[in-house]
Amino acid sequence: MSTFQAPKGTYDLIPPSSATFLAVREAIAAPLRNSGYGYIETPGFENVELFARGVGESTDIVTKEMYAFETKGGDKLALRPEGTASTLRAALEANLHKGGNLPVKLWYSGSYYRYERPQKGRYRHFSQVGAEAIGVEDPALDAELIILAHQSYRSLGLRDFRILLNSLGDKECRPVYRAALQDFLRGLELDEETRRRIEINPLRVLDDKRESVQEQLIGAPMLRDYLCEACKAYHEQVRELLTAAGVAFEDDPKLVRGLDYYTRTTFEFVHDGLGSQSAVGGGGRYDGLSEMIGGPALPSVGWALGVDRTVLALEAEGITLDLPPATAVYAVPLGEEARRVLFGKVTELRLAGVATDFAYGGKGLKNAMKSANRSGARLALVAGERDLAEGLVQLKDLQSGEQSAVALDAVVDEVRRALA
């Protein structure tokens, strides 16, 4: 055992469970690649101000959870706590919005960091796949992203998830609601920090999970009652498009999510099998974020889905993904000449697209066959001096135990036939 361990609240992905995480990432990414989204990768850290302006200075993410530090050169940086601000910053820096081909559609996958109290389904280091559609205000884009996330979860076999949907209004109608909500909240018995939040972003108080706060919020004004006609019409179009696509959702007038940049459409994917940490992903429209970080007006919408949370959802439903074996064929040489010849066949099989491994280290037959079984291989290629003298190798089916002699020059074809 090493002297060192993974930092508190983090984890290592190791085989064989890591294969499930890779499969989940691929399942989420596949519908995006099929819908015009291009891959983007951004640094693991950014200027602190990017998140302070974009995510919101009143959010727990910025005030309590962000890993911020100062470099030797005096730069103030932070490990990225989410992906939207970084992706938009990169798109603006590369002038992707100036080509006239809007929206700019991007997807990403990576690790994110928040200093939280570690618990199952909530870590300080976590993995997400995200998607952003930048530069166009269109209900069809909002609906498209929700449908693509729904499609990816369905492709994994998940069934027990729900989509919560709400509208947060825009710069025309939200100020009126904000004032009404502030008047209501100022009359409650709240701690000093929460009272400070009332003045900065009162919607964040609605997202407070403490029972003592939620009990006092009964009777609070609802944003849906303050939406302007334009926001009502926009939201109704999103709802109609989802319904037409056969995607079920639940209207949740209390859904605000934890980031300051959301406007109009906001949504969350929840799975009731995960207990209190039920959210597996979510997102929404953020029409003013570009201007917040110094860019032009670029109405945009996006989401991020948690890979860790999705794996937990699969476990909650008892779903085991049908994953291809890491090794399909395991080669076992008996002697130096067999080692040389079989290693060449291993290379041929790999070039032919067959996942193949080799008994390294000069293992004897018994130990090598144990390794072959532990690898999960379907077939074993075994050869000794007598086999090679006759131009043959032995092909053994590790499931049935059946074994047959195969000509050396026919190994690739026979392996393919056996695996098929």
How far is it, in rounded angstroms, from Cα 11 to Cα 24? 17
> Which superfamily does CATH assign the domain made up of 17-173+227-316 to?
Bira Bifunctional Protein; Domain 2 (3.30.930.10)
What is the dotted CATH code of the domain comprising 329-419? Answer: 3.40.50.800
In this prediction, residue 259 carries a pLDDT of: 62
In this prediction, residue 260 carries a pLDDT of: 65
Evaluate whether 316 touches 140 at the Cβ level (below 8 Å).
Answer: no
- pLDDT digits (tens), the chain, 420 positions: 678 999 998 989 998 899 999 999 999 999 999 999 999 999 999 999 998 886 765 566 676 788 999 999 999 999 999 999 999 999 999 999 998 889 999 999 999 999 888 777 778 999 999 999 999 999 999 999 999 999 999 999 999 999 999 999 998 888 888 899 899 999 888 888 888 888 877 887 887 778 888 888 888 888 888 999 999 999 999 999 999 999 999 999 888 776 667 889 999 999 988 877 789 999 999 998 999 899 999 999 999 999 999 999 999 999 999 988 889 999 999 999 999 999 999 999 999 999 999 999 888 889 989 999 998 899 999 999 999 999 999 999 999 999 999 999 999 999 999 998
Half-sphere exposure of 37 (CA within 13 A, CB side): 29
Q: What residue spans define the domains of the chain?
A: 17-173+227-316, 329-419
Give the burial string for 181-190 (b: 16+ CB within 10 Å, else e).
beebbeeeeb
In this prediction, residue 139 carries a pLDDT of: 98
CA distances from 412 to 39, 174, 203, 329, 335 (A): 35, 66, 63, 11, 22
In this prediction, residue 352 carries a pLDDT of: 95
Q: Which of 263, 259, 260, 304 is nearest to 287 (CA)?
A: 263
Beta-sheet strands, E only, within 114-180: 125-134, 161-167
Token digits of residue 104: 């700019």
Token digits of residue 308: 């860790």
In this prediction, residue 203 carries a pLDDT of: 81
In this prediction, residue 406 carries a pLDDT of: 93
CA distance from start to end of the chain:
42
How does strand 38-39 pair with strand 379-383? unpaired
The one-character DSSP state at 41 is -
Q: Which of 81, 88, 73 is nearest to 45 (CA)?
A: 81
Beta bridge pairs of residue 350: none
How far is it, in rounded angstroms, from Cα 281 to Cα 263? 17
Burial class (CB in 10 A: 0-12, 13-18, 19+), 244: exposed
